[in-house]
Every structure is written in structure tokens, then in C-alpha cells.
Structure 1
Amino acid sequence: MSRVITETDRLIIREFNLDDASAVYHFNAPKEVNRFTGDAGMCENIKDAEQIIRNIWLVEYQKFGFGRWAVVLKESDEVIGFCGFKNETRINAVDIGYRFHPDYWGKGFATESNLACIDYAKKHMKLDRVLGDVVVENLDSIKVLKKLGMNYIGQYQEEGFTLNRYELLLKGKTE
């Protein structure tokens, strides 16, 4: 059983485990999912998904106490995507992110799950701020970051993309 991080009315947010490999492959498989992420081609089969879980997420849970978390739909117990935080060494900051299978786009899951993660972080994590980077053409993700209360702080170029950077200062944390 994976450690549950938090819940909403519709979702359970928990750590990934190796049993989630087929779900991780499933939500990464559609080409449009990774269109703006820079991760295209990283999850081409279940073995790749197992490697992501084992070598990235499980390692991050051990090293930092957090990472990308599984988003589980309560009504079906199905892993539909990920949400949460990543200690992003390339930007020397903690990033908030999410990814869902297209069947679950436009239903509020990205906003709902990440608002729950932000609430969890304010209460249980020692984070002063989180960043959110989004490709400028990804208008739906820009809307999500704004709904999370993030503020635009700048723009930069990376790997042929123009990205907007957003920031959220975490206030009211309990120590």
C-alpha cells in the first residue's frame, strides 16, 4: 500500500508504486500528453514506466520526502495521472506539475489535485515557494496555474520552447 498524501472529494493523492506502471504508461502514451513537456519518448512502454517509478519518483520520495504523486479517481480506484512537486535541479527550485490522460482533461482534476497538494505543502512541508513553468502555447495549463494562485514572474527560452514562469509563495505553513 502506498502512502496517501491527501484526498479531495473525488481524488486520492498518494505515492506511486511499481504496481502503477501500466497506469503510468497509459496516461503518458497519447502523443498530446507530452506535447509541451520535453518528455516525449521517455515512456514508450511499461518497462519505461517502471523505470520512471523506480529511478525517479521512488528515489525522490526517499531523498526529498516528496515527488510527483499518483492521482487516483475514488469512484474507480484508477490512477489517472500525476500531480505534485519536484525538486527541479535544473532551475534550483521546487516545481509544481501535473499530467493526466486526455480522457480526464477539462474536468478540473489538475486544479483540484494541485490545490490539495498546495494545502498539504503549507501544512506539512518546509517549502517557501513553488514555481510552475508552462509553454506559452499551452493555454489550458496557464489557466490551471492561475487558478492555483500562481503569479507570472517572467519568460525564458529552453529546448526550442518559450516558457512562462509562475510563482506561488507558500504562507501560513505550520512547523
Structure 2
Amino acid sequence: MPEIETARLQLRHFNLNDFDYLFRLYSDAEVMKYLLPRTREQTQASLSKHIQQWQQHNFGMWAVIYKETGTMIGRCGLGFLENTPEVELGYVFEKSYWNMGLATEASLATLKFGFWEVKLDRIVAIAHPENIASVRVIQKVGMKYEKNASYYGHDVVYYAASNSEWQADDSLYISQS
């Protein structure tokens, strides 16, 4: 299964040993402010889903590793948007790694993988309108606002990018193995 390396990050597949880290991330109220903190059971279900998604669809969420320290700092990848066949870009990072451009770096690599390797026609992203940092990441990676919508029980802004129109910046994408 593919893994991606960027200038500062390694995006690798989750494994069952990642549970404790993921639970710490998913139970942090500030990190999960717009996504809702998760219980141990919900985190276990999410971890299983992250692993199964790759096996079933050849894409999914990656564990994001900060290469300088070898530390897992979040997750980023592709999944299906709630109750749709649309593929969604998603990411969550530890707050100590916010405002460093890492979500943008991981998201760009994820979009490249989705368009270039999986050959998806379109990728969407949603965010709470109040989550300015997340909206900025979505905009920085070249996705365009399309509408206001409601997903996962929340009003959100909905962005999209199409394979034929999306322009990638190659500078951050090092390799795929």
C-alpha cells in the first residue's frame, strides 16, 4: 500500500498499534472542537475504518509523521463524505503543530495522490465556517468554494477540486513508495 513522503512529513498507513496516539488526538477537546471528541470505542471504530478503507478502496487516511522527530502528529487523507459517493479530504493535527503549514503540506500530497495515483475525478472538502484555519488550508491547496451545506449534523462550507482543473505545486512532494 502506498506511502507518501513530503519535505517535512511521512504519510504512512495506520496500524492497530496507533490506537493510543489516535485516542489522545481524538479526545483533545481543542483539537476536535469542530469534529467532536471521540470515546475509546469511537476511536477504535475510526482506526478500524482507516485501515479497512485502504483495503477496500486503495485510498484512506494516513498517519502523519513529522520526519524531524519521527513523531506522529496527526492524520490526513481521503474518505467518503457522509452518505455520498464523493471523496473527501480530511485532516486533524495536534495543536502544537498548528500554524506551521503542515496541514497544507499533507493535504497537497493527499490531493496529488488522489488525482494522480487513484485517478479520482473530483475531491471535496468541508469545514465549519468558523474554523478559519481549516478553511484556509482548503483554499491554499487550490479547492474552490461551491456552496453551504449540511454534513455530519453541522452547517459547513463545501469546497471541491476536479482532476482536470487542479494545479499542483510539485515542490513539497518527494516520493511515493
What TM-score bracket applies, with the shorter chain setting the length?
Answer: 0.7 to 0.9
2:150 counterpart SS class: strand
Among 126, 130, 137, which residue is 1:133 paired with?
126
1:53 counterpart SS class: helix
Deviation at 1:12, TM superposition (A): 0.2
Contact 2:27/2:37, CA 8 A, preserved across alignment: no
Query: Would you say 1:60 and 2:58 are equivalent positions?
Result: no
Q: 1:52-88, CA deviations, whole angstroms, 9 ceiling, x for partnerless residues?
A: 212x111111111111111001111111101110023
2:31 counterpart SS class: helix
Among 75, 91, 94, which residue is 1:101 paired with?
94
Stretch moving more, 133-142 or 160-169: 160-169
Query: Would you say 1:29 and 2:27 are equivalent positions?
Result: yes
What code does the residue aligned with 1:148 have?
A: V
Query: Would you say 1:5 and 2:7 are equivalent positions?
Result: no
* Distance in 2 separating the partners of 1:20 and 1:28: 12
- Between 1 and 2, higher relative CO (CA 8 Å, sep ≥ 6) is seen in 2
Q: Which runs of 5+ in 1 are unaligned?
A: none
Deviation at 1:6, TM superposition (A): 0.8
Give percent identity, aligned residues only. Answer: 30
Task: Give the TM-score, by structure 1 length.
Answer: 0.86
1:1-175 mapped onto 2 (5 Å cutoff): 3-37=1-35, 40-42=36-38, 44-45=39-40, 48-54=42-48, 56-158=49-151, 161-171=154-164
* Distance in 2 separating the partners of 1:160 and 1:52: 18
Q: Which runs of 5+ in 2 are unaligned?
A: 167-177
CA RMSD of aligned residues (A): 2.0
Matched residue count: 166
Contact 1:26/1:101, CA 8 A, preserved across alignment: no
Q: 1:20-75, CA deviations, whole angstroms, 9 ceiling, x for partnerless residues?
A: 112111222210222112xx242x34x65343212x11111111111111100111
* Distance in 1 separating the partners of 2:61 and 2:147: 24
Task: Give the TM-score, by structure 2 length.
Answer: 0.85
